Amino acid sequence: MNLTPVVVAARRTAIGTAGKAFRDFTVVDLLAPVLSAVADELHMSQVDDVVIGVARGPGGNIARVAALQAQLGVDAPGMTVDRQCGSGLAAIQVAAALVASGAATVVLAGGAESCTNASPGRAAFAPSDIGDPDMGPAAEMVAENFAISRERQDALAMRSHENALRATQIVAPEIVAVGNQLIDQRPRKLVANVLARMPAAFTENGTVTAGNSCGVSDGAAVVAIVPEWLRAERGLSGLRILGWTAVGVDPRTPGIGPVPAIEQLLDRCGIALDQVGAIEIVEAFAAQVLAVTDALGLDPLGRDAHRIAPLGGAIALGHPWGASGAMVVVRLFTELLRGGITPSPRYGLAACAVGGGQGLALLVERVDA
């Protein structure tokens, strides 16, 4: 019996700018409709577990509360995990492990965040004597350490928004309506000279600005994971999960975390980066993405633009902290299976950097019905 985990459904809310479209919705209100939509799409009589990542939620077991609100049944348990802004991807990794071990057959996994309703302040990412910078100053440190220019950061930001605007109809099948919101709020036409005039947002004379950084946002994303034998039995298309990694890096430069995570994962799976046709790295900051792609030998503004966030990233769409790692897996589902990239690539890669100095990566392979 083949227990290889496979993503067979993937949905999300639109991404709303904090304080705007979803200001009257709790994190559970955002998550429950997406859980319900994925469960309805599966036509499965039993959900064995619900695993949801949240970075700064209200406390309590949000996964269980949302599963009950989604009417999955009182026998569907739930577990909430916290790996900060990697929580959504971490939840998918946990779910994949449950399926691969045979402990569960149908697991709904993802992430959710209401940044609008998050408590003020934040918990420590790391002990202060090691270094515990906020993410903005940490992005500045990455830009300086890895010589990422302001011009390249602004160019990546413009590309992210342009791609997102072009992809509005392509990504529409991902979105579950919450409060009748069906379009991502943040993407807009950027003008280069206006972007260039924006002041540094975090440090004096810095290069990281509001224009080349993500927006603080609200949203939720969920995927369904089943073993390969069940996918084949049901005749479903999916994303076979080939492997995943989590690594630690210097907490002072957390943005570089995806580099060792991706390198270790590809080496373990025996896949070369050149074979991967869709690459999604959570765009918290343009400086961070460019440092990662430079280190990996990728060029998102040139030869590799067609395979790195081709439908727009978090700089354009927004960054609902605990949900973003799951958002990029939903995006891979669109790129590999819904025709978001033509011809459809065989392999896809999702990765994110995490406050406190961590990196996560997940490698998938398209499998047709």
- Catalytic residue ranges: 85, 319
Q: What angle do CA 143, 282, 9 make, to 5 degrees?
A: 170
Q: Assign 3-class secondary structure to the chain.
A: CCCCEEEEEEEEECCEECCCCCCCCCHHHHHHHHHHHHHHHHCCCCCCEEEEECCCCCCCCHHHHHHHHCCCCCCCCEEEECECECHHHHHHHHHHHHHHHCCCCCEEEEEEEEHHHCCCCCCCCCCCCCCCCCHHHHHHHHHHHCCCCHHHHHHHHHHHHHHHHHCHHHHHHHEECECCECCCCCCCCCCHHHHHHCCECCCCCCCCECCCECCEEEEEEEEEEEEHHHHHHHCCCEEEEEEEEEEECCCCCHHHCHHHHHHHHHHHHCCCHHHEEEEEECCCEHHHHHHHHHHHCCCCCCCCCCCECCCCCHHHHCECHHHHHHHHHHHHHHHHHCCCCCCCCCEEEEEEEECCCEEEEEEEEEECC
Query: What amino acid occupies position 368?
Result: D
Q: Which residues contact 46 (CB under 8 A, 6 or more apart)?
A: 75, 76, 105, 106
